[in-house]
Structure 1
Amino acid sequence: MSWKPKEFAQCLPCVVAKNCKDSIEFYTAAFGFTELDNTSVDENGDVQHAMLQLGEVTIMLTPEGAFGMPHLTPTSSGVMSPMGLYIYVENVDKFYEQAVAAGAKSLNKPEDSFWGDRYARLMDLDGYEWSFATYTGKIVHQHTHTGDCC
Structure 2
Amino acid sequence: MATPDPDHGGPPADGPRTGGSAADPRPAGVPWLTPYLTVRDAQASRVFYEKAFGFAVREAVDDDGATMHVEMTHRGELVIMFAPEGAFGSTAKTPRSAGAEAPQLFYLYVDDVDALHARAVEAGGKSLLPPGDQFWGDRFCQIEDPDGCRWGLAHKSKGPTGRQPGSDN
Same fold per superposition (TM over 0.5): yes
Note the C-alpha offset of 1:137.
Answer: 2.4
1:60-106, Cα deviation, whole Å (9 max, x unpaired): 01111222222100111101111120000011112212222222211
Report the equivalent of 1:12. 34
* % identical equivalent positions: 35
Does structure 2 conserve the Cα–Cα contact (< 8 Å) formed by 1:20 and 1:47? yes
Note the C-alpha offset of 1:145.
Answer: 4.9
SS at match of 1:25: helix
User: Larger RCO: Structure 1 or Structure 2 (Cα < 8 Å, ≥ 6 residues apart)?
Assistant: 1
Report the equivalent of 2:61. 40
Report the equivalent of 1:125. 146
Report the equivalent of 2:73. 53
Note the C-alpha offset of 1:23.
Answer: 0.6
Q: How many residues align?
A: 144
Report the equivalent of 1:143. 164
Does structure 1 conserve the Cα–Cα contact (< 8 Å) formed by 2:144 and 2:151? yes
Note the C-alpha offset of 1:57.
Answer: 4.5
Q: TM-score, normalised by structure 2?
A: 0.79
Does structure 2 conserve the Cα–Cα contact (< 8 Å) formed by 1:8 and 1:58? no
Paired residue for 1:26, among 48, 54, 60?
48
4+ residue stretches of structure 1 with deviation over 3 A?
Answer: none
Q: TM-score, normalised by structure 1?
A: 0.89
2 CA distance for matches of 1:137 and 1:101? 28
1 CA distance for matches of 2:41 and 2:166? 37
2 CA distance for matches of 1:85 and 1:145? 25
Report the equivalent of 1:77. 98
Structure 1: 5+ residue runs without aligned partners?
none
Which amino acid in the other structure matches residue 69 of structure 2?
H
Cα 1:57–1:119 change in 2 (3 A) is farther
Report the equivalent of 1:95. 116
SS at match of 2:117: helix
2 CA distance for matches of 1:57 and 1:132? 17
1 CA distance for matches of 2:73 and 2:128? 23
